[in-house]
Structure 1
Amino acid sequence: MKERLSIPEGLKGGVHFHTSAAHHLAMHRHEELELNLVTRGTGAYLLDNRKYVLRPRTLVWLFEGQNHLLLEQSPEFQMWIGVFSRQLLEECCTTEATQVLLKSNPPGAFCKPIPASDCAALDRFCSITFPPRPEPELYNAALGYLLMAAWSAYTRADLVLETSNVHPAVERAARLLRDRPELDDVDALAAEAGLSPSHLSRLFHRQIGEGLVEFRNRQRLERFLSIYGGGQRRTMLSAALKAGFGSYAQFHRVFRRSFGYSPGEHRRRMTAFDRPAP
């Protein structure tokens, strides 16, 4: 469903603070580029063919052509939401490094944690800058600054993550599970990574923030969403098996735990979303 956002006349976007108590939208998209900065709690986004996991300091970019649905919000979940009009994007995104923000649905994932100092600075800026009854000139200037500052923090995050203290065995295990999510044998995974199973499990959880099984299941779910798409070309069973799940029962259990509803309900939602409006 393409949503028309209610942006006051004279403004080139908007910023507001979202909590888990807010009204939950159905899967939707809109013309404006959207930014989300998570400050507390956990949640997830379902996009057309992938899932974004949201944790504190996660910065997400949602583009015009991307249908998205916010899920799995913990009770304490909070984030800033910013939306930016096409006019503002064209005024601000004038360098090669920012051209991607003008695209409708660029390839790749646009979701990752940013440094704590950048997150705190953006949180503070949003808290003191965006009043409920703004003066258009000041508000639009602040929107432009937020857009550029957030993108700068997002692109710098690559450098921080590359130099973070992650054990080489943990990195190898994460890459193996990402590339081969059908792997079930922790002993074999640990042997390829170069550590004992118990040591790898403890170290992986401490440095990645989730266990080996949880990480593997998330990779499988993301692969399933990409393979299944809208359900026109594959059954859920064939997509689940191709994604690495050993059985439909295993897939059903993991899917329900992650999304909070059954695969059958997901199929109904996707069918309803794809059905043309009368």
Structure 2
Amino acid sequence: MIFLTFYATMTAKGGVVMTKALATEGRYFFFEDLINAKSMAGSKHYHNTFELYFLEEGECHYFIDNKLYHVEAGDLVLIPEGTLHKTFYPEKRRARTLINCSRHYIPADVMDKLPPLLHLYRNPALVPQLRALLGQIREEYQHPDALSESVLTTHLHLLFYTLVRNAASCLSISPLPPYIEQAVAHIKAHYAETVTLSDTARIISISPEHLSRLFKKETGFGFSEYLTMLRLQRAEAMLKSEPHLKISAVAFACGFNDSNYFSEKFKRVYGFSPIKLRQKSDTYRGI
């Protein structure tokens, strides 16, 4: 059985666009088209699904993990599950198509080839084929029936096989400035400890003020904001992989000194508490 979950999205003119997710137990699929919507303006997040992002019009700066991409109309970005990312748009005019799906929808032989392909795809000759595939997915998604999950799975398989066949069109990563790469590496290595802007700046030999400005400019995140999001991401993984570990222990292991503060931040980002996440994970494991 397919369950429909509806979402309300506020547009730039104040209108509301209804979108929906198709979901069965352990499976998730979400499709959305947006044009000039406020919700496109740089939301930061991560999720336990793969994300396919196709820019229909305009341009976009896409920060994925610790790498920055410049995305142009006709480009497709593939983001792995559980990866912190953020978009910001230099132009007012933009349109994009977004798909979030669980690994159930990805062919097994494609999964083995995904690691080197989690990049930006740019190939003008491929755009008509991508638009056609996305159009078929859109049509099926907007008019679901008892066969929709099977049809969507088939279309998604074709989309992923198309990307694998055209792996040569995967662009090189646009590297972050050395200072920012060093700062991100330091945060990732020491997130469970006390990490401060001043200490990080001292380690990489620049002023805290300069690091703060540069970090925000290049990643779209504030220094503390990125640190907190990374800690939450690690905590989410630990809550699932260590079901018998107390929530307070998870909080401390991921760099939070106050378990109540951790729970508040977690709920603000995810929309549910760490306890609720545990309950959901237990349900999927059949506990």
Give a deviation string over 1:36-57, Cα, whole Å, max 9, x none.
898764554236xxx9898785
1:22 corresponds to which letter in structure 2?
K
1:58–1:113 contact (8 Å) kept in structure 2: yes
Per the TM alignment, residue 257 of structure 1 is displaced from its structure 2 partner at its CA by 1.9
* Alpha-carbon distance change, 252 to 238 in structure 1, aligned in 2, over 3 angstroms: same
Per the TM alignment, residue 250 of structure 1 is displaced from its structure 2 partner at its CA by 2.5
Q: Which residue is 2:23 aligned to? A: 25
* Alpha-carbon distance change, 82 to 151 in structure 1, aligned in 2, over 3 angstroms: farther
Correspondence for 1:175 among 163, 173, 185: 185
Correspondence for 1:205 among 168, 192, 216: 216
User: Would you say 1:225 and 2:244 are equivalent positions?
Assistant: no
SS of 2:98's equivalent in the other structure is strand
Unpaired stretches in structure 2, ≥5 consecutive residues: 4-16, 35-39, 54-61, 63-70, 83-94, 144-151
* Alpha-carbon distance change, 38 to 225 in structure 1, aligned in 2, over 3 angstroms: same
Q: Which residue is 2:261 aligned to? A: 250
Q: Which residue is 1:114 aligned to? A: 120
2:178 corresponds to which letter in structure 1?
P
Q: Which residue is 2:11 aligned to? A: none
Q: What's the TM-score, normalizing by structure 2? A: 0.57
Per the TM alignment, residue 207 of structure 1 is displaced from its structure 2 partner at its CA by 1.3
**Any residues of structure 2 matched to 1:71-82 within 5 Å, and which?**
78-80=97-99
Give a deviation string over 1:251-272, Cα, whole Å, max 9, x none.
1222122102222322332333
2:51–2:99 contact (8 Å) kept in structure 1: no
Per the TM alignment, residue 179 of structure 1 is displaced from its structure 2 partner at its CA by 1.4
CA distance in 2, matches of 1:83, 1:236: 26
2:78–2:118 contact (8 Å) kept in structure 1: yes
* Alpha-carbon distance change, 239 to 153 in structure 1, aligned in 2, over 3 angstroms: farther
2:160 corresponds to which letter in structure 1?
L
1:37–1:58 contact (8 Å) kept in structure 2: no
User: Would you say 1:270 and 2:277 are equivalent positions?
Assistant: no
Correspondence for 1:100 among 88, 112, 116: 112
* Alpha-carbon distance change, 23 to 81 in structure 1, aligned in 2, over 3 angstroms: closer
* Alpha-carbon distance change, 180 to 145 in structure 1, aligned in 2, over 3 angstroms: same
User: Would you say 1:147 and 2:166 are equivalent positions?
Assistant: no
Q: Which residue is 1:12 aligned to? A: none
Q: What's the TM-score, normalizing by structure 1? A: 0.58
**Any residues of structure 2 matched to 1:6-45 within 5 Å, and which?**
21-23=19-21, 25=23, 28-29=26-27, 41=40, 44-45=46-47
Per the TM alignment, residue 20 of structure 1 is displaced from its structure 2 partner at its CA by 6.5
Give a deviation string over 1:209-250, Cα, whole Å, max 9, x none.
212112111221122123232553300110110111121122
2:267–2:274 contact (8 Å) kept in structure 1: yes
Per the TM alignment, residue 127 of structure 1 is displaced from its structure 2 partner at its CA by 4.0
CA distance in 2, matches of 1:252, 1:85: 30
1:39–1:123 contact (8 Å) kept in structure 2: no
2:31–2:99 contact (8 Å) kept in structure 1: yes
CA distance in 2, matches of 1:111, 1:263: 32
1:237–1:248 contact (8 Å) kept in structure 2: yes
Identity of aligned residues (%): 16
Higher relative contact order (CA 8 A, sep 6+): 1
